[in-house]
Amino acid sequence: MLHAPKFLEEEHSELMNSLRNASKTGDETGKAVGRLLEKLEPHFQDEERLVTPCLAALTPLAEGDITVSRQITPLLTELERRYRAFYEEHKVIRERALAVRNVAARDGHSDIVDLIDGLTHHAEIEEEVLYPAALVSGKYAAAMSRKT
């Protein structure tokens, strides 16, 4: 059984809970957050289905436990097919997040401005580290299962 990296699960659920609350401001900020959530919810779900398990496999694979390869290898084809789309979705998410940030700053929702900055940081870590790490993990797992 693979255990999802705790920080990632927590970060996703914290961001999602805070954004769902932020969507209820009853003003333009809330509406802009709603538009952001339309894109973000399916994006997070796909990350949790494809990226998170590959990241969960990193520790066992690094420690030489290749039995996890069987769980990861079936995800590789879809992860490879979907890989560039994750980056493309971030572009749309960034645009909508920026729209939220602008309207939230104007409406005096400094907490929501901070929340958007947190989301942007989250996306940067994914692009620079987590997505490539997940892909390498999947490819390594597939290579290991071919050997066994």
The site for Fe ion (CB under 5 A) is made up of 47, 126
Q: Which is nearer to Fe ion, 129 or 143 (CB)?
A: 129
The string over 59-85, giving b where at least 16 C-beta atoms fall within 10 Å of a residue's C-beta and e elsewhere, is ebbeeeebebbebbbebbeebeebbee
Q: Which is nearer to Fe ion, 7 or 24 (CB)?
A: 7
CB of 141 vs Fe ion, minimal distance in Å: 21
Q: Which is nearer to Fe ion, 58 or 126 (CB)?
A: 126
Neighbours of 144 (CB within 10 A): 18
Q: What is the SS3 string spanning 99-112? A: HHHHHHHHCCCHHH
CB of 18 vs Fe ion, minimal distance in Å: 14
- The answer to whether the CB of 79 falls within 8 A of the CB of 107 is no
Q: Which is nearer to Fe ion, 47 or 116 (CB)?
A: 47
CB of 107 vs Fe ion, minimal distance in Å: 26
CB of 30 vs Fe ion, minimal distance in Å: 22
